[in-house]
Structures are given as C-alpha cells and as structure tokens.
C-alpha cells in the first residue's frame, strides 16, 4: 500500500521503525564522539530506548504482547546495568579523579 494512502487511517508503522533507527544512529554517533564516561553511558541508554521502540512497534504489528515483555526486560536489565555502571564510574573517579575516557588508558600501553 502507498504510505500516503495509509496515512489517512493512522500513522504507518514504518514511521515508528524509522524513528527508532534514527535514534539508534544518533546514539551510536554519541557513543563514538563523546569523551565523558557518563555521557557515553547515556548514549548506550539512548540506543536501548531506540530498540525498545522497535519492540513495541513490532508488538503492535503482530498484535502480540510479547514485544512489550521484551521491552520490559530490556528496561529491567538497563536499570541493573545503570546501577553497576554508575558504581564503576564512581570507583574510577575515586581512583583516578577524571571522567575523561581518553585519560583512562592504563591497559593500553
């Protein structure tokens, strides 16, 4: 069906998927270019959110609740990950008193 035709009775699901893809790409870009370890972590959360949007859209497409549950599990895992990750950041800051990932390179050389 033509997207313009479909827009008359709602928003095409492709739009949601495209939005999700765009958010994911922005998250990847942020992950690459940012140097603050907390911001890098936030870009990972952004990518997880983008994936969640895809899950919910597919759940709507197949009219099944499973997609919601995957999104729910992603959320729970992200919360656990945030707790551990921020604890690691705190420890790193305590030991090296910097948040710049360029300066945390003891293992490199």
User: Which is nearer to other proteins, 95 or 107 (by Cβ)?
Assistant: 95
Least Å distance, CB 96 to other proteins, is 12
What number of chain residues touch other proteins (CB under 8 A)?
73
Residue 65 or 107: which CB sits closer to other proteins?
65
Is residue 108 at the binding interface for other proteins, with CB under 8 A as the rule? no
Q: How far is the CB of 107 from other proteins (least distance, A)?
A: 18
Which of 4, 51, 66, 96 contacts other proteins by CB under 8 A?
66
32 to each of 7, 26, 50, how far by Cα in Å? 36, 10, 17
**DSSP result, 40-88:** HHHHHHHHHHHHHHHHHHHHHHHT-SHHHHHHHHHHHHHHHHHHHHHHH
- Report if residue 96 touches other proteins, rule: CB under 8 A: no
Is 52 exposed, middle or buried (CB count within 10 Å of its CB: 0-12, 13-18, 19+)?
buried
Nearer to other proteins, 10 or 107 (CB): 10
Among residues 65, 53, 66, which one has the least CA distance to residue 11?
53
Site string for other proteins, 1-30 (x = CB under 8 A): x----xx-xxxxxxxxxxx-xxxxxxxxxx
């Amino acid at each position: 069906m033509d997207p313009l035709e479909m827009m008359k009775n709602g928003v095409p699901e492709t739009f949601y998927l495209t939005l999700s893809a765009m958010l994911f790409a922005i998250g990847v870009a942020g992950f690459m270019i940012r140097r603050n370890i907390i911001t890098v972590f936030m870009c990972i959360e952004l990518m997880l959110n983008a994936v969640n949007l895809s899950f919910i859209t597919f759940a709507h497409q197949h009219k099944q609740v499973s997609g919601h549950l995957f999104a729910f599990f992603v959320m729970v895992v992200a919360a656990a990950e945030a707790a551990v990750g921020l604890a690691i950041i705190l420890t790193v800051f305590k030991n090296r008193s910097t948040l710049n990932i360029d300066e945390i390179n003891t293992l490199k050389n």
